[in-house]
Structures are given as structure tokens and as C-alpha cells.
């Protein structure tokens, strides 16, 4: 192509473009709206019809405002995120801090008591260090509680009015107990070195009793909303006591006490991990390694019975209402239980992993290392079973190939028989991991050591066989019978754990102890502790949503209907996002708590560390 | 199981004991073995969502195992560090550097050129029933509703047998076209339906439920499914338009009798206490 042709082509193109632009402008002007009044200069100062209409509208509005009667509002809207999400997040944050504030005094008191009985000052110092986390957390709990109350009153005024109708007699005791909790908590913390030990222990006991009572009252309100009692069919109060002692009140009380301890232990362990990672001296590392170990021990010890308590709560919900039971386990919320299974499976795996890493600091633990792979196989197998959905996420082609929404082979792992068996074996295996860890630093010297080991092994074998037997037999009986099989399964595991522990205590009396090198553990183990704390928190948020969301479009299930714009069940994805953001905010707050606690302990920390570090040759469990 | 695939994989895993590969090789072999078994080892293919879930768990477990002991961890870490840092591995490292984005590109290409499919969705097996149910202008409380004919099983076996026989007739006149003559959800119309009808022989279906639940599903069918927990897809007609209440209870009796299942019993303490 010649250059001149190219140039001519460009010029023509530009000319065409110019003509097109001119044409467009001309057409735009022709088609544009022009007011007939604008052209008339003498009408320019007069108001336009639109302005007149606006004036009339404003006057009508002013008159209506002046004569508007007072009407009670049912709901008010929270900007941007909506009322439900606002209350949901604040309630969850309040609950997480409350759980922590209730849990720490429980194990702090026990650790302090151990120190008092044994005369070992390290335990007393450790209990004090746990308690240091309380004062800021208590303030956060109270502030978030106040915010939650204001939000509820502001956003759900009519419903709150109803709750007051039923529960007003409980408010004064609640406030009084809260007042007493503040007194006991601060006197327990600030009076650590001021009171005699017995008085101080009594203060700790009072703090625990008051804290538990507060939780029991608050539990009455929320369980009433799910399983109402003590009211007429239209909601009129018949008996406040019956409303308090409703169907799921005691299952929630028990479940929450255990879960709070597990959660509190894990947060305290995360604090220790945080301090371990920024420790500068071997003494500090040793101290915080030990503290993290104790915190984690508390968390895992509470985690082991937790599935049983959860099972009881779920079965009570099912017993109260088949609809709610099916919504929970077979309907809209059942997918959250798959996420729950994955999170709990991770918890068990991480807890065992931490123990296995911990064996590295114990001299003589090598002899148990070969068992780890067998424990891991059982844990992984149980984890896989627990996380196998009954109704599988599948494409249309996959559903057609399977002949339904469950897989012909894997579908058997999706039912309760398999799940109960898996969780019981998981618990048993975690206990074995702990036992091996405990044994790592000790060599029995009693004459009957060999027989004791055989008996312990036999107990484990019988328990595991019982769990497996009922798990398999459950496939061949009707549902009503199968549900009852969970009792012998749970009992066999609990009895085995208690029996083996008792034997172990006697077996290790006078045992030869090897060196435990506290502080000589990989940083990975500390990240595992933080992972455990985050997972516990996430799990609490997720399961809290299930418990509350089960009511669906009811404020009080079957009695007071939710007529707000939020009266629908959010998608699972949205719900998990809200839970996740709440967990992130919580860890932002807890970071502040850790930071403040570390400020308090920073002066004279060298002396403190020197005093409180465990002996580097102890085998604590 | 697809034993032609599973057995060789198991043999290879058993052979690892004699070959004694490095920890890295051992972990990789186990991971690949699990993937092959899950993806190809089952006669009925396992959905991808479950394969991914299982592989995720196995990855975590293997990572926990290899890193729980300093020696094992060194066996995994050292070859990788050597591969990334030693000069002699440079050509291979270059190859890997090219292979990773190439694999990503290939994966995207395969995904984008795959034939269009209906989106994946999580179907829940048991939709939640309503608190009350109105059938033929009679309102029932679902908490307490039970099959009125069930008690005849012990009190009047002859009458019970007659109702069962009636249930059989109703089933084969109305239900078997979809649910099949063996109640496996494989009737002559089943292949035209998506999802296919429920397999009553499966112990995870009617055996898990109270008879009141079946009554609700039979009476209201697909149109009566709840909005929450959707999307529901069911071609089940609302049988209350064609059958009497007694006929629906009779066919429910027959479903349990034929499949040799027992309905879930009403809980002794079922129902709210105060309302």
C-alpha cells in the first residue's frame, strides 16, 4: 500500500468523524426539551408548577407532623447492615467475652487450689497470670452487654417489651449478681497477695458461683425463645419459673459451662503462645511454654465431653419440635454441621499434633514416637467419616450417576451411627495421645507395671470394640433404638477414660521421671495453640448461629412471629461471612487484652519469670 | 469398589515398605494413592466436592505427620530446600517454574471448555415440616400427629392386614410409576425426573422419619415444600387432591411394611410444654 493512499484514507476518516459529530450535536439540540415557559420572560419570576407542588407537599407534611398521634414502633432499622446483623455481631462478641470471663476463674481457681494444696508457688503464679487477663475482658464484656441491650431496645422495642413481660422478675437478680461479680472479680484479682489463701480461694469460689448464676439467668431468656414454656398459646405469662426452666435451659447450661472452659483454656493458651513467640529469655520461653501447655490441657479436657453435651442439647431440640430438629439436622442448617465437623476434626487433629510436638521436649519420649502414625490413621479415618455428608454437593450428572443425592457406598458414613462412632473413637484416640505424652517423661517402677499396662490396653480395646459394635449394629435397627445406642457408646468411652486414669495414677506413683525441657519446642506448636483458639471461636460463632437461627421467622418459636424485614433465613455463605467477620473483630479486641495484660506484667518481669518458670526438669501434666 | 484400580494402588502402598522411599516420596505416594482411590476407585464415581474434601483432610493429616518429628520434617524440608537453592537443579527448577503457570493455564482452559452443566446445589434430604398441617379442611398438629391405623397392628391384626392390602393397591395404582415396584426410586418415569424419586429401601430415608412427616409429604407433595432451605425440586403431586386421608395413611403403612422398616417413634416428651 502506498503511503499517499494511507494518508488519504486517514483524512477521509477524520472528515467522516467530524461530519458524524456535527450531525449528532445538531440532532441533540433539535430533540432537547425546552420549557415553553422559559422562553417567556414575563413568567420567569413566577414559581413553576413543580415548585408550587413542592411547597404544598411541605405544608401538608408539616400539618401531618403536628397532628401525628404517638404510635409504638415494632422495629427500627440499623443503617447499612440491618438490625439483625448488628444485633447478631454484638451479641456474639458479648457472648465470647462473657464465656472467657466465666471460664478463666474456673480453672484459675482449680490451679490456685492445686498450688495451695501442694505448696508449689508456680501454680499460684500461673493462676494469677491467667487472672490478669480478666479485668480488661470483664470491662469489654460489660460494655458489649450494654451495647447489646441498647441495640435490642432500640431496634426490637416491641419484642423486648414482650420479653420483659415474661422475664421482668429476673432482671433485678441479674443486675445484683452482676454487681457482686464485679466485686468478687476485682477483689479476687487485686487481693491476690492481700488476703489469706483460704479467704482468697473463697473469693474465687464466690466469683465462680455468681458468674455461673448470671449465665443461667441469661440462658433462660435465650432458650425460652427457642423452646418457650410457662406461657399461654397467645404468649401471656403463666409462670416465670416455668419460662426459665424451659425445655433446653439445662442442656444449654451444661453445654455452655463445658464449652466456656474449653474456649477459655484455648484463649489463655493463645495468650501464652503470643508471649512465647515474643519471649527473649529461655526462662520466659520455658514459663510460657508451660502456661500454653496448661491452657491447652484445660481446653482439650473440656473438649472431650463437649460432643456428648451437644448431642444431648440437639436431641432435646428434636424432642421439643420435629420441625426444628429436621431443620437443624436434615434441612437448611444441616450443611453447617458439615462445616462444624471439619472444624472439630481440625481441633482434634491440632490438639493431638500439639501433644506430639510436645513429646520433643521430653527425654525418653522417643519410645512412643512409632505409635503416632497409628493414632494419626485412626484420627484421620474418624475425621473423614465425620466430615462425609449424607446428602452430597453434586452436579446433576453426579446425582444421576449416584442414583440420588447420597452416594451408595459413602452414604453409609453420613448417618448418625457412623458419626457417633467416629466422634467416640476420636475422643478415645486423643485420650491415648495424652496418655502417651504423660507417660513420655515417666518410667513406672511399681512391680505390677506390666500387668497395669495390659489392663489399660484391655480397657481401651473393650471400649473401642463397644463403640464399633453399637456403631455397626445401629445400621440394622430402627431409629428409635439406634438413638439410644449413643448412651452405651458414650459411657464406654467415659468409663474407659476414668478407669485408665485411675490405674495410671497408681501406676506412676514413684515413677522415675525424665527431664522435660520446657521452652524447647518449635514455634509451630505455638501457632497450633493460636489456631486452636481461632477454631474454637469460629465454632462457637457458627453453632451459636445454628441455635439462634433455628427459630427461623419466629422471635419466640411458635408464639411471637418475627415480622421485621429480616424475617428470613440468610444464605449459608452470608451467615458464615458474618460469623467470620465477628471472629476477626473478637481477635482484634483480644489482641488489645493481651497487650494490656503484657503491659501489666512487664515491670519486674525478669524476677517474675525467674520465680514462675517451671523447673526445666519437671514432668508436668 | 473398582478393584482393578484399588488393588494395584494398595499393592504399591504395601511395596513402599520394601522400597523405603524418603519421607517426601512417602507422603506424596500416600496422597496420590488416596486421590486415585477416591477419584477412580469407586464403581459409582464419588462427587468432586467429596474428593476435594477428603484430599484436604488427608493433606492436613500428612502435613501433621511429617512435621511432628524434627527428623521426619528434615527429610521433607531438606530435599525441597536443596532443590530450590542448589545450582545443579537449575534446569529442572526452570522447568517447574514454567510447569506451574502452564498447569494453571491448562486447568483454566479445561474448565472453560467443559460442556455447560446445571449448577451444583446442596439438596437437603429432609425438608422441615410445618408446625400444623391442614388436609381436607382438618388441621393437624404435627407434634402429636400419628398414623391412626398403626395401633391396629397389635389391637386388630386382621383389620391392619386389610388396610395394608389397601395400601398395596393404592401404591401400585399411583406411586410405583415413579418410586418403582421395589420402592428403590427406579420406576418407569424415574429417568425423566431430576432429582430422581426417593429410594425408600435406603435406611436413611423413611426409617429416619415419623409417619406424620410422610403424611405431610404425601398430602402436599412438591407444591407444599417449604420456601426455606430451597431450592426444592420435586415432581411429587399433592396427593390430597386424589386420595382420602385414610388412603394416605394406608399407603404409608404399606411403605414401611414392604421395605421392612419401622417409622421413627414419636418422642415420649414431644411437644412444647407451655403452648
Of B45, B229, B271, the CB nearest to A332: B229
Q: Are residues B38 and B84 in the same domain?
A: yes
B269 inside 8 A of chain A by CB:
yes
Cβ-defined contact of A393 to B121 (cutoff 8 Å): yes
Range from A189-193, A269-273, A416-420, A540-544 carrying the lowest mean pLDDT: A416-420
User: From A553, which residue of chain B is nearest by alpha-carbon distance?
Assistant: B228
> What pLDDT was estimated at residue A37?
55
Total domains, chain B: 2
DSSP at A443: E
pLDDT (tens digit per residue) in A1-44: 566 777 788 888 888 888 888 887 777 766 665 555 555 555 66
Cβ-defined contact of A330 to B125 (cutoff 8 Å): yes
Check pLDDT > 70 for residue A461: yes
User: Which residues 78-107 of B have a C-beta within 8 angstroms of A?
Assistant: none
Q: Are residues B138 and B240 in the same domain?
A: yes
Is position B271 within any domain? no
Q: Are residues B103 and B146 in the same domain?
A: no
Q: Are residues B107 and B137 in the same domain?
A: no
Q: Are residues B141 and B243 in the same domain?
A: yes
Cβ-defined contact of B196 to A400 (cutoff 8 Å): yes
Q: Please name the helix (run of DSSP H) or strand (run of DSSP E) that holds residue B134, with its range, or none.
A: strand B132-135
Q: How many CB atoms lie within 10 A of CB A470?
A: 22
User: Contact A263/A537 with Cβ under 8 angstroms?
Assistant: yes
pLDDT (tens digit per residue) in B246-259: 999 999 999 999 99
- Mean pLDDT calculated for residue range B197-202: 85
Q: How many CB atoms lie within 10 A of CB B30?
A: 16
Of A384, A405, A558, the CB nearest to B131: A558
Is position B63 within any domain? yes
Is position B16 within any domain? yes
Q: Which domain holds residue B31?
A: 3-113
Check pLDDT > 90 for residue A481: no
Is position B230 within any domain? yes
Check pLDDT > 70 for residue A615: no
Band of the pLDDT at A69, cuts 50, 70, 90?
confident
Is position B274 within any domain? no
Is position B119 within any domain? no
Nearest to A290 by CA among A437, A431, A123, A134: A123
Cell numbers found for residue B226 = 417449604
Q: Are residues B93 and B185 in the same domain?
A: no
User: Which residues 2-61 of B have a C-beta within 8 angstroms of A?
Assistant: 42, 44-50, 53-54, 57-58, 60-61
Nearest to A437 by CA among A526, A527, A357: A357
Is position B122 within any domain? no
Phi/psi class of residue A404: alpha, beta or left (left: φ > 0; alpha: ψ in -120 to 50)?
left
Q: Are residues B104 and B153 in the same domain?
A: no
User: Which residues 308-347 of A have a C-beta within 8 angstroms of B?
Assistant: 318-324, 326-327, 330-332, 334-335, 342, 345-346
User: Contact A554/A562 with Cβ under 8 angstroms?
Assistant: yes
Torsions phi, psi for B165 (to 5 deg): -65, -40
> Best of B62, B128, B200, B212 to disrupt the A interface by mutation (most A CBs within 10 Å)?
B128
Phi/psi class of residue A68: alpha, beta or left (left: φ > 0; alpha: ψ in -120 to 50)?
beta
- Mean pLDDT calculated for residue range B175-201: 87
- The residue count for chain B: 275
- DSSP H helices, A449-522, are 449-473, 479-484, 486-507
> Best of A162, A227, A322 to disrupt the B interface by mutation (most B CBs within 10 Å)?
A322
Peptide bond into B231 cis (omega under 30): yes
User: Which residues 215-254 of A have a C-beta within 8 angstroms of B?
Assistant: 227-233, 235, 238, 242-243, 246-247
What's the mean per-residue pLDDT of chain B? 87
Cβ-defined contact of B57 to A227 (cutoff 8 Å): no
- Mean pLDDT calculated for residue range A442-454: 90
| CA–CA dist B193, B180 (Å, integer) | 13
- ipTM strictly over 0.85? no
Distances, alpha carbon A543 to alpha carbons A98, A334, A336, in Å: 16, 11, 8
* A217 or A388, higher pLDDT: A217
Cβ-defined contact of B46 to A410 (cutoff 8 Å): yes
Q: Are residues B227 and B196 in the same domain?
A: yes
Residue A345 bridge partners (DSSP): none
A555 inside 8 A of chain B by CB:
no
pLDDT (tens digit per residue) in A533-591: 999 999 999 999 999 999 888 999 988 999 999 888 888 899 999 999 999 999 999 99
Strands A560-561 and A554-556 come out as: antiparallel
Q: Are residues B253 and B146 in the same domain?
A: yes
| CA–CA dist A581, B54 (Å, integer) | 27
User: From A345, which residue of chain B is nearest by alpha-carbon distance?
Assistant: B57
Last residue of a domain, one of B78, B113, B148: B113
Enter the pTM of the model: 0.80
Is position B120 within any domain? no
Cβ-defined contact of B212 to A322 (cutoff 8 Å): yes
Q: Are residues B177 and B143 in the same domain?
A: yes
Per 3-state DSSP, chain A is made up of helix, strand and coil in percentages (nearest 5) of 75, 0, 20
Cβ-defined contact of A349 to B58 (cutoff 8 Å): no
Band of the pLDDT at A611, cuts 50, 70, 90?
very low
* B233 or A209, higher pLDDT: A209
Last residue of a domain, one of B113, B147, B168: B113
| CA–CA dist B224, B234 (Å, integer) | 10
User: Contact A292/A154 with Cβ under 8 angstroms?
Assistant: no
Q: Which residue has the cell 469460689?
A: A205
Residues near B143 by Cβ (< 8 Å), separated by ≥ 6? A321, A322, B131, B270, B271, B272
Q: Are residues B147 and B251 in the same domain?
A: yes
Q: Are residues B49 and B139 in the same domain?
A: no
- Mean pLDDT calculated for residue range B68-94: 91
| CA–CA dist A240, A245 (Å, integer) | 9
CATH of the domain at B195: 1.10.760
> Best of B63, B124, B210 to disrupt the A interface by mutation (most A CBs within 10 Å)?
B124
Amino acid at each position: 500500500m502506498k503511503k499517499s493512499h494511507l494518508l488519504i484514507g486517514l483524512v477521509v476518516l477524520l472528515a467522516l468523524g467530524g461530519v458524524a459529530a456535527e450531525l449528532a450535536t445538531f440532532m441533540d439540540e433539535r430533540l432537547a426539551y425546552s420549557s415553553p415557559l422559559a422562553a417567556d420572560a414575563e413568567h420567569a419570576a413566577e414559581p413553576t408548577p413543580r415548585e408550587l407542588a413542592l411547597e404544598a407537599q411541605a405544608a401538608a407534611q408539616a400539618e401531618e407532623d403536628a397532628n401525628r398521634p404517638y404510635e409504638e414502633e415494632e422495629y427500627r432499622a440499623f443503617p447499612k447492615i440491618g438490625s439483625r446483623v448488628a444485633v447478631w455481631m454484638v451479641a456474639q462478641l458479648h457472648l465470647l467475652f462473657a464465656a472467657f470471663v466465666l471460664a478463666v476463674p474456673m480453672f484459675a481457681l482449680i490451679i490456685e487450689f492445686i498450688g495451695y494444696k501442694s505448696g508449689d508457688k508456680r501454680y499460684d503464679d500461673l493462676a494469677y497470670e491467667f487472672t490478669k487477663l480478666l479485668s480488661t475482658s470483664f470491662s469489654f464484656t460489660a460494655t458489649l452487654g450494654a451495647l447489646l441491650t441498647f441495640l435490642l431496645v432500640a431496634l426490637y422495642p416491641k419484642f423486648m417489651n414482650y420479653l420483659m413481660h415474661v422475664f421482668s422478675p429476673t432482671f433485678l437478680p441479674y443486675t445484683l449478681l452482676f454487681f457482686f461479680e464485679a466485686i468478687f472479680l476485682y477483689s479476687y484479682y487485686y487481693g491476690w497477695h492481700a488476703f489469706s489463701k483460704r479467704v482468697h480461694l473463697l473469693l474465687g469460689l464466690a466469683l465462680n458461683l455468681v458468674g455461673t448464676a448470671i449465665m443461667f439467668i441469661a440462658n433462660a431468656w435465650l432458650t425460652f425463645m427457642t423452646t418457650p414454656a410457662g406461657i399461654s398459646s397467645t404468649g401471656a405469662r403463666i409462670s416465670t419459673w416455668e419460662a426459665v426452666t424451659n425445655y433446653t435451659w439445662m442442656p444449654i447450661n451444661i453445654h455452655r459451662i463445658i464449652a466456656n472452659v474449653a474456649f477459655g483454656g484455648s484463649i489463655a493458651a493463645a495468650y501464652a503462645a503470643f508471649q512465647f513467640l515474643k519471649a527473649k529469655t529461655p526462662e520466659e520461653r520455658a514459663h510460657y511454654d508451660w502456661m500454653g501447655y496448661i491452657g491447652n490441657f484445660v481446653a482439650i479436657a473440656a473438649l472431650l465431653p463437649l460432643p456428648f453435651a451437644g448431642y444431648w442439647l440437639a436431641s432435646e431440640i428434636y424432642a421439643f419440635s420435629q420441625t426444628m430438629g429436621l431443620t437443624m439436622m436434615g434441612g437448611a442448617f444441616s450443611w453447617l454441621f458439615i462445616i462444624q465437623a471439619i472444624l472439630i476434626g481440625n481441633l482434634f487433629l491440632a490438639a493431638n499434633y500439639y501433644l506430639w510436638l510436645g513429646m520433643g521436649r521430653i527425654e525418653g519420649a522417643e519410645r512412643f514416637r512409632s505409635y503416632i502414625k497409628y493414632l494419626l490413621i485412626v484420627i484421620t479415618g474418624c475425621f473423614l467419616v465425620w466430615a462425609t455428608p449424607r446428602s452430597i454437593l453434586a452436579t446433576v450428572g453426579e446425582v444421576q450417576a449416584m442414583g440420588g443425592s447420597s452416594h451408595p457406598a459413602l452414604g453409609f458414613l453420613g448417618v448418625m451411627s457412623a458419626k457417633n462412632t467416629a466422634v467416640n473413637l476420636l475422643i478415645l484416640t486423643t485420650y491415648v495421645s495424652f496418655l502417651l505424652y504423660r507417660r513420655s517423661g515417666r518410667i513406672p517402677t511399681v512391680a505390677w507395671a506390666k500387668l497395669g499396662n495390659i489392663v489399660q490396653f484391655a480397657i481401651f480395646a473393650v471400649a473401642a470394640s463397644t463403640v464399633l459394635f453399637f456403631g455397626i449394629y445401629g445400621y440394622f435397627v430402627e431409629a428409635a433404638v439406634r438413638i439410644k445406642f449413643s448412651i452405651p457408646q458414650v459411657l464406654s468411652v467415659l468409663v474407659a477414660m476414668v478407669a485408665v486414669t485411675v490405674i495410671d495414677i497408681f501406676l506412676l506413683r514413684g515413677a522415675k521421671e525424665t527431664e522435660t525441657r520446657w521452652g524447647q519446642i518449635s514455634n509451630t506448636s505455638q501457632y497450633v495453640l493460636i489456631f486452636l483458639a481461632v477454631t474454637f471461636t469460629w465454632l462457637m460463632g457458627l453453632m451459636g448461629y445454628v441455635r439462634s437461627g433455628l427459630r427461623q421467622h419466629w422471635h419466640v418459636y411458635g408464639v411471637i412471629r418475627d415480622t421485621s424485614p429480616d424475617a428470613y433465613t440468610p444464605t449459608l455463605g452470608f451467615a458464615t461471612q458474618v460469623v467470620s467477620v465477628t471472629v476477626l473483630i473478637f481477635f482484634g479486641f483480644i489482641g488489645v487484652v493481651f497487650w494490656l495484660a503484657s503491659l501489666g506484667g512487664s515491670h519486674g518481669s525478669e524476677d517474675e519469670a525467674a520465680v514462675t518458670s517451671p523447673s526445666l526438669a519437671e514432668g508436668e501434666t | 469398589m473398582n478393584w482393578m484400580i484399588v488393588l494395584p494402588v494398595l499393592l504399591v502402598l504395601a511395596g513402599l515398605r520394601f522400597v523405603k522411599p524418603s519421607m517426601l516420596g512417602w507422603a506424596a505416594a500416600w496422597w496420590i494413592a488416596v486421590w486415585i482411590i477416591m477419584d477412580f476407585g469407586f464403581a459409582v464415581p464419588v462427587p468432586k466436592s467429596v474428593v476435594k474434601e477428603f484430599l484436604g483432610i488427608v493433606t492436613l493429616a500428612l502435613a501433621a505427620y511429617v512435621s511432628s518429628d524434627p527428623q521426619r520434617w528434615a527429610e521433607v524440608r531438606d530435599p525441597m530446600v536443596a532443590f530450590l537453592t542448589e545450582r545443579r537443579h537449575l534446569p529442572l527448577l526452570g522447568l517447574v517454574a514454567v510447569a506451574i503457570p502452564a498447569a494453571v493455564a491448562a486447568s483454566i482452559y479445561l474448565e472453560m471448555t467443559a460442556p455447560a452443566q446445571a449448577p451444583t446445589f446442596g439438596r437437603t434430604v429432609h425438608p422441615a415440616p410445618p408446625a400444623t398441617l391442614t388436609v381436607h379442611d382438618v388441621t393437624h398438629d404435627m407434634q402429636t400427629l400419628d398414623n391412626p391405623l398403626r395401633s391396629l397392628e397389635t389391637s386388630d391384626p386382621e383389620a391392619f392386614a386389610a388396610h395394608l392390602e389397601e395400601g398395596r393397591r393404592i401404591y401400585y395404582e399411583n406411586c410405583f410409576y415413579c418410586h418403582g415396584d421395589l420402592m428403590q426410586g427406579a420406576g418407569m418415569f424415574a429417568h425423566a425426573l431430576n432429582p430422581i424419586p426417593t429410594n425408600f429401601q435406603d435406611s436413611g430415608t423413611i426409617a429416619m422419619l415419623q409417619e406424620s412427616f410422610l403424611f405431610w409429604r404425601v398430602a402436599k407433595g412438591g407444591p407444599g415444600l417449604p420456601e426455606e432451605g430451597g431450592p426444592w425440586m420435586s415432581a411429587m403431586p399433592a396427593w390430597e387432591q386424589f386420595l382420602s386421608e385414610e388412603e394416605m395413611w394406608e399407603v404409608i403403612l404399606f411403605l414401611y411394611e414392604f421395605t421392612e422398616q419401622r417409622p421413627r417413634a414419636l418422642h415420649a416428651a414431644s411437644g412444647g410444654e407451655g403452648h
